[in-house]
Structure 1
């Protein structure tokens, strides 16, 4: 029987990591700027499409990314260590230099007003769910617990629900970008981003630690 109590833990772990890297609140402020020449209805439509595309990107990376890498001979322990380091490094960048990340996202989304349908490129990929988000999702998928369907199913249910929740947050934040801009402003949005980045740093460390434990377990058991 599946242990559904573990699904909540998987949800919290995945949501904190994905929310931190996507940063819907901070991204909404940029979204408001780069789509300023569009009507409110057009921005709402764009936000809905971006939310759907972002969900598809994150779910695909969560479900298939680790299996694809394993197909090429990368072990699960190596995936966890490398993925955890990627998450932690990205979190450190967000924590110490959020202005640099914001400037890069602004540049990535800069061509959006020039395109008739910019929902997927550049507003979803790479602006909302770029390589960093995909790397984090793959790392989370690689962190799946050992065992059969009773442990795998609750894990993927939890992380999938987290991806959908983050995508829904993107949809709501982008749809309400104008109100968020007036309510938060850049300073408060940066505070929220830094808090989320610290949580993400802890998540990355935990994922990498799990990989190290996987490597050391047979060595310690043989002593």
Structure 2
């Protein structure tokens, strides 16, 4: 029971962090603008491919990202502080971002050159990288993986299972949002999308602050322990 509760807590924190950064609702509207020339069946197939690609990117970042940091000699505390700051800054910018219909229309028109591109090529670039799982998402995955230090078998099981469930839940969220992008745009409307974006931005800001607080605590603990 204790492991199940710990697993749920780790999953909830990781899922909240990544879903706030990825923001499938906002990404779904951009996805819809980039694929309006596709049929419903083609859009659904493309959404499924993006979800699978996103799952793979998240798994790689969650399981291998920390080892890459070790290769370059970057400490976990520095990663937490830098990653948390990047996440918090992104949340702050989103929270204070002004609505700009002209900018949204320009972003939707920007990838017009992709209209004749094969769907398989579009699925990874640019629709998975950088539209869905960009550098901020990868940095957050590394920070989340660094949050846990597996010392016992139970910790290892929780870490591995949580990582798989986080990536799976995020991938499914992306799939559902992108597959229903047209209906989502009609039902939420500008006001609903604005509210969802602001709530996600505030949550992102809080998560970034929590990651930085953890990094600062770990960095200062040896100093206070020596006194």
Shift of 1:18: 0.7
Structure 1 residue ranges (4+ consecutive) displaced by more than 6 angstroms after TM superposition: none
Range with greater deviation from structure 2 (48-57 or 123-132): 123-132
When the two structures are superposed, what TM-score results if normalisation uses the length of structure 1? 0.91
Q: Distance in 1 between matches of 2:181 and 2:162?
A: 28
Would the aligned equivalents of 1:66 and 1:79 in 2 still touch at CA under 8 Å? no
Does 2:130 correspond to 1:126?
A: yes
Aligned to 1:18: 18
C-alpha deviations, 1:57-98, integer Å up to 9, x for none? 111111111221122111111111111111111111221116
Aligned to 2:151: 147
Structure 1, unaligned runs of 5 or more: none
Range with greater deviation from structure 2 (104-113 or 42-51): 104-113
Shift of 1:4: 3.6
Range with greater deviation from structure 2 (156-165 or 10-19): 156-165
Q: Distance in 2 between matches of 1:93 and 1:205?
A: 14
Q: Distance in 1 between matches of 2:86 and 2:187?
A: 33
Shift of 1:207: 1.0
Question: How many residues are aligned here?
Answer: 222
Would the aligned equivalents of 2:81 and 2:211 in 1 still touch at CA under 8 Å? yes
Range with greater deviation from structure 2 (17-26 or 154-163): 154-163
Q: Distance in 2 between matches of 1:129 and 1:104?
A: 21
Q: Distance in 2 between matches of 1:191 and 1:34?
A: 23
Which of 187, 190, 198 is 2:191 aligned to?
187
Shift of 1:216: 1.1
1:105-184 superposed matches below 5 A: 106=108, 109-117=111-119, 118-145=122-149, 147-184=151-188
Cα distance 1:167–1:182, how it changes in 2: closer, same or farther (>3 A)?
same
Q: Distance in 2 between matches of 1:140 and 1:107?
A: 35
When the two structures are superposed, what TM-score results if normalisation uses the length of structure 2? 0.89
Which of 183, 201, 204 is 1:200 aligned to?
204
Aligned to 2:73: 73
Q: Distance in 1 between matches of 2:157 and 2:105?
A: 39
